[in-house]
Amino acid sequence: MTTSRRPVLTVDGLSVVYETESPVHAVSDASFELGAGEILGLAGESGCGKTTLAYAINRLHRPPARIAGGQVLFHDASGETIDVLGLAPDALRRFRWSKLSMVFQGAMNALNPVTSIRAQLHDTIRAHRPRTSRAEAERRSIEVLERVGVDPARIGSFPHELSGGMRQRVMIAMAMILEPQVMIMDEPTTALDVVVQRDILREIVRLKDELDFAVIFITHDLPLLLEISDRIAIMLQGRIVELDAADRLYRDAAHPYTRKLLGSFPSLSGSRGDFIRTGVMADETPGGAS
Ligand SMILES: Nc1ncnc2c1ncn2[C@@H]1O[C@H](COP(=O)(O)OP(=O)(O)OP(=O)(O)O)[C@@H](O)[C@H]1O
Ligand SMILES: [Mg+2]
């Protein structure tokens, strides 16, 4: 199923194999389009290949992983189409984080423990825009921390001085700092408690609406995806077995595995509308409780 929006990313027939003693076909023939400003949810059980797919899109996969086929095309807002899998190393470095960025699974532990938040944010900017002045890097860092709900006064802190939720917000700030058009978020909130999760999700959706980037949001949590996604892709054993608008998928899933997944969340009995009113984003609706 294609998107009605301007496509920003086309993944076409992507396959990834782990070349281990007995090769693991972790991703097989994955195809989808991501629309500008869209949230595409990606769900499926542990080991179905979600993270492998995300890494391959960004060409962050490392041996024994190998891309066995397919294409990843990034359609820049400028009109240029970038063949991600064909980029030379230098061009790839420029592409990553500035056009497409990623918040990694377990990211809150991915910050460098011996460097301040300031240094990590400045470094990200200056790695891509070496002529940025220190003052400009500081201004941008503070702006992006504010956007993700971190008190800018904490910019001099080291990661261990921040809560898990704050560290995760810093990771999201880092992924946003170069204003990419696509962000891939791999289980960005699952390690956090429900209240913090909810706050961060609300922030992500708000930022997306404000800044108009597209998101591939990966999680086991199908109810959550039904809340925040425009469309949802369901992955099973390396294949995307279903991809549809979130409400259609909820009402009328075609694949038996999707129906099984939906059925395994007791909170999803009743209509999707009922769920939304009682679900994570409920207090975001106009007139809702705050
Ligand atoms: N380095 C590796 N070497 C060999 N096989 C791997 C490697 N990394 C992952 N795999 C295998 O590839 C498959 C897909 O793994 P992947 O981590 O992409 O799944 P996932 O959907 O992200 O799972 P989770 O929900 O637990 O994060 C699994 O069968 C996994 O065992
Ligand atoms: Mg994973």
45 alpha carbon – ligand 1 mean position (Å): 11
219 alpha carbon – ligand 2 mean position (Å): 8
Q: Which of 19, 24, 104, 239 to mutate to test the pocket of ligand 1 (most atoms within 8 A of CB)?
A: 24
**Which listed ligand is nearest to 57 at the C-alpha?**
1
Looking at residue 263, what is its pLDDT? Answer: 85
Segment 270-284 mean pLDDT: 42
Rounded-to-integer distance, Cα 144 and Cα 176, Å:
7
Tokens 């595409």 locate to 40
Has residue 286 got a pLDDT over 90? no
185 alpha carbon – ligand 1 mean position (Å): 16
Q: Would residue 219 count as lying in a domain? A: yes
Q: Would residue 67 count as lying in a domain? A: yes
**Which listed ligand is nearest to 42 at the C-alpha?**
1
Q: Is the CB of 24 under 6 A from ligand 1?
A: yes
Q: Would residue 154 count as lying in a domain? A: no
The tens digit of pLDDT for each residue in 138-180 reads 999 999 999 999 999 999 999 999 998 899 899 999 999 999 9
Q: Would residue 268 count as lying in a domain? A: yes
Q: Is the CB of 64 under 6 A from ligand 1?
A: yes
- Domain that includes residue 274, residue range: 1-35+48-96+214-280
Residues with Cβ within 8 Å of residue 176, at least 6 apart in sequence = 101, 144, 147, 148, 183, 207, 211, 213
Segment 7-34 mean pLDDT: 97
Q: Would residue 285 count as lying in a domain? A: no
Label residue 270 by pLDDT band (50, 70, 90): low
Q: Would residue 90 count as lying in a domain? A: yes
Measured from the Cα of 220, ligand 1's closest atom is 25
Helix (H, G, I), strand (E, B) or coil at 115: coil
Rounded-to-integer distance, Cα 26 and Cα 20, Å:
11
Looking at residue 267, what is its pLDDT? Answer: 65
For the chain, the residue count is 290
Helix (H, G, I), strand (E, B) or coil at 248: helix
Q: Would residue 58 count as lying in a domain? A: yes
Query: Cβ distance 241 to 260 under 8 Å?
Result: no
Q: Would residue 88 count as lying in a domain? A: yes
Query: Cβ distance 116 to 155 under 8 Å?
Result: yes
Tokens 């791999």 locate to 186
Measured from the Cα of 187, ligand 1's closest atom is 27
Q: Which residues of 105-118 are buried (b: 16+ CB within 10 A; e: fewer)?
A: bebbeebeeeebbb
CATH number at residue 7: 3.40.50.300
Query: Cβ distance 8 to 182 under 8 Å?
Result: yes
Q: How many CA atoms lie within 13 A of 250 on its CB side?
A: 25
Query: Into how many domains does the chain fold?
Result: 1
